[in-house]
Each structure stands twice: as structure tokens, then as C-alpha cells.
Amino acid sequence: MRPEIEQDSLLPDPAPADPRARLELVMRECVRITREWEPELRTSLRLSLEPAAGDPSLLRRGRAIGWIEQALTPLRETRPDIDIHRLAVVIRSATGIESFVWLGDVAGLERAEAAETLCGTAQALLAHALAETARPPGE
């Protein structure tokens, strides 16, 4: 078995319109997947760090970026000044298995606290993007 690598979306149908609520739902599901598949994801991460790793495995293809991007889709109309793909990449870089491992193994957080931290980090990055792009140039 593999984690949800073939799902196109982690949002429910119907999904909320608010990007914050959508991101929260996607991040909760991403964190659930990370916790459920932690041993396999750790192995995949370890293998991807090997110099001769070559092509990424099925588990390391960046699906979470697409899921996060989909959560942020309403911003395309309401905030066209935000680069949705770039924001999704930034959020994923701070909330994936790499961060989960660091929070637990290095920072010493319990798994549940690490999971909450990842979800909070995603919301903080979204809030920062909304605040940054709302400022007039030069401020």
C-alpha cells in the first residue's frame, strides 16, 4: 500500500470558499498522511538524500504542492497579486516530512505537537503573504 499518491484533491466536496479554511483542511489531511505513513516517508526521504538517488520515487513527486495550490485557488480572483504556485511551494517547504522529522527528532516535540506546528506554520505563511502583498509598494 502507498499513501494517497493518486488523489487529485484533499478537499471535501463541496469545499469551503475561504482559502484559510481550505488550507486548514488540506494541511490537516497532509499531516494525517505524514503521521500515518511516517516510516515509509522517512525511508523515501533518506533514499532521496543519497547521491545516486536518481529520479524521485513515487513518494517524492511533490503532490502536496498541487494539493496546497488547489486550497489557495480562490486567491486567484481575490488576490491576483499573489503567486499561488510560489506560495504553495513555500508552504510545502516548511510543512512536509522534512519539517515533521526535524520537529520531532531535533526539537523534541511530541508528534501531535509537531503536527499542530506544521498546520500553524502553513496558516502563518498564508497570513504573511496576504499582509505582504496588501501593502502599497515602497512601504
The packing angle between helices 63-72 and 19-36, to 10°, is 160
pLDDT for residue 48: 81
Please name the residue that has the C-alpha cell 502553513.
122
CA distances from 117 to 46, 81, 94, 96 (A): 22, 27, 10, 11
Residue of 11, 63, 69 whose CA lies nearest to 34: 63
Give the chain's residues under pLDDT 50. Answer: 1, 58-59
Residue of 120, 137, 9 whose CA lies nearest to 73: 9
Q: Where are the domains of the chain?
A: 19-48+57-134
Read off the pTM.
Answer: 0.86
